[in-house]
Amino acid sequence: MKRPFEIDVCCYAGHRGEQTPQSFVFGDSTIVVEEILDQWIAPAHRYFKLKAKSGVYIIRHDTQSSLWELVFYTAGP
């Protein structure tokens, strides 16, 4: 099984302190989040399905280590 790609994420911390991704860096590209399509919680991770100009991404946040990873990507039109 391939390991997800580690990414740097710029977040907005809402009034409850929960982090919401606004953009992230993948390789040499900064991906700006246009819309959060979905989000869900697993025992050790928070997942976000994001829409950007370049496609749809699923990223996850490890709540223990604070590590962000890209786990899925599909190119846009």
pLDDT above 70 coverage of the chain, percent: 90
Residue 8's Cβ-side half-sphere holds a number of Cα atoms within 13 Å equal to 5
* pLDDT tens digits along 17-49: 567 899 999 888 999 999 999 999 999 999 999
75 within 8 A of 29, measured Cβ to Cβ: no
Average pLDDT, the chain: 88
Distance CA 40, CA 33 (A): 17
pTM confidence score: 0.85
